[in-house]
Amino acid sequence: MIDVINLKKSFGETEVLKDISVTINKGDIVVVLGPSGSGKSTFLRCLNCMEDPTGGSIIFNGVDIADIKVDINIHRRHMGMVFQHFNLFNNKTVIQNIMLAPVYVKCQELRKNKRKNIKIRIKNLFSKQKEELIPITTSKAEIQKEAKEQAMNLLKRIGLEDKADVYPSTLSGGQKQRVAIVRSLAMNPDVILFDEPTSALDPEMVGEVLDLMKALAKEGMTMIIVTHEMGFAKEVANRILFMDEGYILESGSPKEFFEHPKSDRAKEFLSKVL
């Protein structure tokens, strides 16, 4: 699904990602480990086109999204991202947060098709060969209605349907993060990237977020997760990437990594976190 080839990223003189190559397959649960400052967040941000790579390619569904000529918005829609600090819109209600992106994207699509039809009509006036109009089967109101139903179903799934109309500031950290996760699901992504999704939570709320992530993993969602939750990594990941100073030093099964780390850096890291 994603082929990262010789990915490099520098900020000015600072080389943060030095040479990253990795393949992510459909259904993979990849946990990215590594010391602070090793480039984990930058790696995820490059995957999601929030940073422009300085070199290399990221082939996502057959297209190089590291190429600046590519319309990244189209690809970003197929990639969810969940952040440490939730990044919910605080001036929108919970349900508005979930509906926002799907409604925006579908309304844009609708407008584009309507505009295309106007162009076709004008062209048809002057040419003998009449071009077919694009069938417009939906309206803005219908898009809104469908998105609302979907958002309610997602809230039901996490037991927060009674929170639909409140603002995020009234939620606990664990509730906020679960809302952020289902918000990313609302776009039906091919893959979800998580950057330390439980690091900002009080300890008693970590479990509810990890449980939701485990459920997604069981359903076959492809996930790339930066986390310090070693228990979760061992139990849920099918692959561990260990990053250090801008390189992937190790890539293997959790069993391989936790029981037989190869590099001294990984051994040292494990001795600190386990």
Structure tokens at 188: 């039906």
Q: Which of 38, 41, 175, 222 binds Mg ion (CB under 5 A)?
A: 41
Return the range that interacts with ligand ADP (CB under 6 A); candidates 31-39, 101-109, 162-170, 233-241.
31-39
**Closest distance to ligand ADP from the beta carbon of 45 (Å):** 7
Q: Which does 42 bind (CB under 5 to 8 A by kind): Mg ion, ligand ADP, none?
A: ligand ADP
Pick 41 or 48: Cβ nearer Mg ion: 41
Angstrom distance (rounded) from CA 221 to CA 269:
28
**Which range of residues in 22-30, 37-45, 170-178, 184-192 is near Mg ion by CB under 5 A?**
37-45
User: Which one of ligand ADP, Mg ion, none is in contact with 89 (Cβ closer than 5 to 8 A by kind)?
Assistant: none
Q: How far is the CB of 145 from ligand ADP (least distance, A)?
A: 40
Residue labelled with tokens 């990044």? 87
Which residues, 6+ apart, have CB-to-CB distance to 26 below 8 Å?
1, 190, 222
Q: Of 37-76, which residues contact ligand ADP (CB under 6 A)? A: 37-42
Give the residue with the Cβ less far from Mg ion, 155 or 201.
Answer: 201
Binding-site member from 16, 79, 155, 225 for ligand ADP (CB under 6 A): 16
The span from the CA of 132 to the CA of 90, in Å, is 44
Give the strand order in the sheet containing 222-226: 79-82, 191-195, 222-226, 29-33, 239-244, 247-252
Range in contact with Mg ion (rule: CB under 5 A) among 40-48, 59-67, 107-115, 173-181:
40-48
Sheet holding 63-64, edge to edge: 14-24, 2-11, 55-60, 63-64
DSSP 21-35: EEEE-TT-EEEEE--
Task: Give the Cα separation of 196 and 225 in Å (integer).
Answer: 7
Q: How many CB atoms lie within 10 A of CB 135?
A: 8
Q: How many residues bind Mg ion (CB under 5 A)?
A: 1
Q: Which residues bind ligand ADP (CB under 6 A)?
A: 11, 14, 16, 34, 36-42
Q: Which residues bind Mg ion (CB under 5 A)?
A: 41
